[in-house]
Amino acid sequence: MIAPGSTIGIIGGGQLGRMLAIAAAQLGYRCHIYDPQENPPAADVAAEATHAAYDDADAMCRFADAVDVATYEFENLPAGALSALGDKLRPGTRSLAVAQDRAAEKEFLEQCRARVSPWRAVETLADVESAVAELRVPLVLKTRRFGYDGKGQAWIRGEDEAAAAWDAIGQQPAVAEAGVAFSAEFSVILARWADGRNALWESPENAHRDGILRRSTVPCSQQVALQVPRARETAIAIANALDHVGVLTVEFFAAAGGPMVNEIAPRVHNSGHWTIEGAVTSQFEQHIRAICDLPPGLTGLIRGSATMDNLIGDEVDRWPELLAERGAHVHLYGKGEARPGRKMGHVTRVVR
Ligand code: AMP
C-alpha cells in the first residue's frame, strides 16, 4: 500500500492531472507533475513539477526516484521513456501500449472478444483504396497514433474521397474503420485493483460534436441501459486482460445487435467528470485509491441524475453566468488561451 503522505507522480499536466492531484491532496498525498510544458494546469495544484520532455531519460530517472508511485493522465507517451519507473507505474506499460496504437488496440479488443467495427490497417493510398472496396463507405481513417478529440481523423463518404482523406490525415499509418450507424454513444468507466477487484459507475450517455465530447448524462436512456450489462462484461474482460490497475474507460456505440467498442482509454475520462459531484466517490479519487491500493469507495449516484457539459473554446467566457446559477458546479482548468476546440472547463448539474 502507498500510504497517505507519500508522493504520487502524474505524467501529463492537463486538466485530468489537475483533477487527479486535487483528489490526491484530499487524501493527504503530495503530487509531482511531469510535463514538457511550462506551468501546465496541474502544476498549479501540485507540490512539485518537473518541466522536461517525455523522452528525457535523465529527467525521467530523477522523477522516478522522487515519487513513490506514478500514473499517467494521457496515453500518447513514448512507452520506452517510462521504463525508468519500473513497477512504480500504475497502470502498467501494457495498458499504455495497447491504448496508444489504434491497430494494436483493435487486435487486442478482438482477442478479448469485444465487438468492433470492421477495420483494416492502412499504410499507403492503395491500402486505403482496398479498404474502401472491402468495407464500403462511409468509413473513417484514424491515425494509429497521437489522435484525440477527433484529431487525426478523416471521413470517406464517397468512393472518390480516398485520396483526399489520406492527404487530410497527413498520409500516416492509420486504421480504416467502417462507419457505425449507432443510435447513441456511452461509456463504461471502472476502476480495477491489482488483486482483480473492480468498481463500476453508472454508465454515462455521451453526446459528441465535431469529434469532441459535449455532454455526458447519467442515468443513460432506456435504449442504452439495455446494452450496459453486456458492455460492462466487455469492459471487465478488457481490464482483466490488461491486468489494469486504476481507472479504465471503454467508449461504446449503442449499435444494432449490441454494444460495439469505439476505443479504450487507460485512465480517467472526460465522460466521468460528473462523478466529482454526482457520485459518492469520484473517478479521480477512485483512481488514486486503486493505484495506492487503498480500499474502494462507493460509486453510486448521490442524487437521481447528473449532467456534465464541457466548456469548449470561448464558451468558458460564460463563467460569470454559470457561477451565478445556483447548484451548478463550475470547473475551470486554469488554461491560458481559449483556442477553438480546447477544453477549458466543465459544468456539472446534479438534480432531483
Ligand atoms: P474517437 O476519437 O475515435 O473517439 O472518435 C470521436 C467521435 O467520432 C466518436 O465519439 C464518434 O462520435 C465519431 N466516430 C468515431 N468513429 C466512428 C465510427 N466508426 N462510426 C461512426 N462514428 C464514429
Residues 195 and 168 in one domain: no
- In a domain? residue 170: yes
Residues 213 and 149 in one domain: no
Residues 207 and 337 in one domain: yes
Residues 211 and 338 in one domain: yes
C-beta of 205 in contact with ligand 1 (< 6 A): no
d(CA 146, CA 110): 22
Residues 186 and 306 in one domain: yes
C-beta of 313 in contact with ligand 1 (< 6 A): no
pLDDT classification of 4: cutoffs 50, 70, 90: very high
Which of 126, 149, 178 represents a domain boundary (last residue)? 178
Distance 251 CA to ligand 1 centre (A): 10
Across 291-319, b (16+ Cβ under 10 Å) vs e yields: bbebeebebebeeeebbbbbbbbebbeee
C-beta of 179 in contact with ligand 1 (< 6 A): yes
**Statement: residue 220 has pLDDT above 80:** yes
- In a domain? residue 28: yes
Query: What mean pLDDT do residues 336-347 have?
Result: 95
Which pLDDT tens digit goes with each residue over 7-25? 999 999 999 999 999 999 9
- Look at residue 352 in the predicted model and tell me its pLDDT: 79
Name the grid cell of 184.
447513441
Q: Which atom of ligand 1 is nearest the CA belonging to 148?
A: 2
Query: What mean pLDDT do residues 113-142 have?
Result: 97
Query: What is the reported pTM?
Result: 0.97
149 vs 192, residue with greater confidence? 192
What CATH number does the domain containing 71 carry? 3.40.50.20
Residues 74 and 135 in one domain: no
**Statement: residue 349 has pLDDT above 80:** yes
Residues 241 and 272 in one domain: yes
Which pLDDT tens digit goes with each residue over 193-213? 999 999 999 999 999 998 899
- Look at residue 151 in the predicted model and tell me its pLDDT: 81
- In a domain? residue 216: yes
Task: Report how many domains make up the chain.
Answer: 3
Residues 161 and 54 in one domain: no
Which residue of 115, 139, 141, 262 sits with most ligand 1 atoms within 8 Å of its CB, as the best mutation to test the pocket? 262
Which pLDDT tens digit goes with each residue over 75-91? 888 878 899 999 999 99
Average the pLDDT over each of 49-53, 58-62, 144-148, 321-325 and give the range with the smallest value.
144-148
C-beta of 140 in contact with ligand 1 (< 6 A): yes
Residues 204 and 164 in one domain: no
pLDDT classification of 278: cutoffs 50, 70, 90: very high
Which pLDDT tens digit goes with each residue over 150-209? 789 999 999 999 999 999 999 999 999 999 999 999 999 999 999 999 999 999 999 999
- In a domain? residue 244: yes
C-beta of 118 in contact with ligand 1 (< 6 A): no
Residue 150, Cβ density class (10 Å: 0-12 exposed, 13-18 middle, ≥19 buried): middle
- Look at residue 81 in the predicted model and tell me its pLDDT: 83
Residues 130 and 146 in one domain: yes
Residues 194 and 310 in one domain: yes
The percent of residues above 70 in pLDDT, for the chain, comes to: 100
Secondary structure letter of residue 293 according to DSSP? T
Distance 252 CA to ligand 1 centre (A): 10
Residue 31: name the closest of 43, 15, 16 by CA.
Answer: 43
pLDDT classification of 133: cutoffs 50, 70, 90: very high
Name the grid cell of 236.
471487465
d(CA 20, CA 8): 10
The percent of residues above 90 in pLDDT, for the chain, comes to: 94
Residues 347 and 216 in one domain: yes
What CATH number does the domain containing 207 carry? 3.30.470.20
- In a domain? residue 27: yes
- In a domain? residue 108: no
* Owning domain of residue 141: 118-178
Position 293: which residue type? Answer: D
- In a domain? residue 74: yes
Across 85-124, b (16+ Cβ under 10 Å) vs e yields: beebbbbbbebbbbbbbbbebbebbeebebbbbebbbbee
Average the pLDDT over each of 78-87, 119-128, 258-267, 343-352 and give the range with the smallest value.
78-87
- Look at residue 14 in the predicted model and tell me its pLDDT: 97
Query: What mean pLDDT do residues 215-225 have?
Result: 98
- Look at residue 70 in the predicted model and tell me its pLDDT: 98
Which of 157, 178, 199 represents a domain boundary (last residue)? 178
- In a domain? residue 284: yes
**Statement: residue 148 has pLDDT above 80:** no
Distance 336 CA to ligand 1 centre (A): 28
